Structure 1
Amino acid sequence: MKTVIILSTLLFGLVGAKCSNACNTDNVPKDFRVTLHDGGGMVRAGETYFLSKDSSYAEIWDQDAKTKIYFKVSMSQLKKLYNIIIENQFHEIETYEERVYDRGGTTISYRADGSSYEKSDAGMTFIQESWRDEFAAVENEIREIVSNELDRASIDVTLDIDDSVMDENKIVNFNVGSSFTYMSARDGWQKSVTVRLYPGEHYMYVTMLNKDLSTEPGSKIFAQGQGILTIDKDTKSISVYRDGEKIYWK
Structure 2
Amino acid sequence: MKNLIAILIAIVITISCNSQKMYSDFDMSYSKSGGLAPIYENLLIKGNNARYSYEGQGKKIKTNFKLTNEDIQNLNKILTQNKFRQIVEDHKKLYDHVSVSINVKNGENSANKTDASMIMPQSKNNWDRVVSAFQDIITKNVKNTQ
TM-score range, shorter chain: 0.7 to 0.9
- 1:138 is aligned to 2:134: no
Partner of residue 87, structure 1 = 81
Q: Is the 8 A contact 1:32 1:113 kept in 2?
A: no
Displacement after TM superposition at 1:41 (Å): 2.7
- Name the CA distance, whole Å, in 2 between partners of 1:115 and 1:137: 15
Secondary structure, in 3 states, of the residue corresponding to 1:112? coil
What TM-score comes out, normalization by structure 1 length? 0.44
Partner of residue 44, structure 2 = 50
What TM-score comes out, normalization by structure 2 length? 0.73
- 1:113 is aligned to 2:107: yes
Q: Is the 8 A contact 1:35 1:108 kept in 2?
A: yes
* AA partner of residue 137 (structure 2): I
Secondary structure, in 3 states, of the residue corresponding to 2:95? coil
- Name the CA distance, whole Å, in 2 between partners of 1:147 and 1:108: 17
Partner of residue 235, structure 1 = none
Secondary structure, in 3 states, of the residue corresponding to 1:68? strand
Aligned residues: 122
Displacement after TM superposition at 1:67 (Å): 2.3
What is the root-mean-square deviation of aligned Cα atoms in Å? Answer: 2.4
Give the structure with higher Rg (CA). 1
Partner of residue 119, structure 2 = 127
Partner of residue 98, structure 2 = 104
- 1:59 is aligned to 2:60: no
Q: 1:46 to 1:142 in 2, by over 3 A?
A: same
* AA partner of residue 60 (structure 2): K
Secondary structure, in 3 states, of the residue corresponding to 2:74? helix
* AA partner of residue 119 (structure 1): K
Q: Is the 8 A contact 1:52 1:78 kept in 2?
A: no
- Name the CA distance, whole Å, in 2 between partners of 1:114 and 1:128: 22
Displacement after TM superposition at 1:66 (Å): 2.8
- Name the CA distance, whole Å, in 2 between partners of 1:115 and 1:145: 18
Q: Is the 8 A contact 2:30 2:44 kept in 1?
A: yes
Secondary structure, in 3 states, of the residue corresponding to 1:97? coil
Instruction: Judging by fraction of residues, say which structure has more helix.
Output: 2
- Name the CA distance, whole Å, in 2 between partners of 1:37 and 1:134: 17
In structure 2, runs of 5+ residues without a counterpart are 1-24
- Name the CA distance, whole Å, in 2 between partners of 1:54 and 1:130: 32
Question: Any idea what the Cα deviations from partners look like across 1:47-104, whole Å, max 9, x if unmatched?
Answer: 0112232420211001564321000000001001101101111011111111332222
Partner of residue 150, structure 1 = 142
- 1:76 is aligned to 2:70: yes
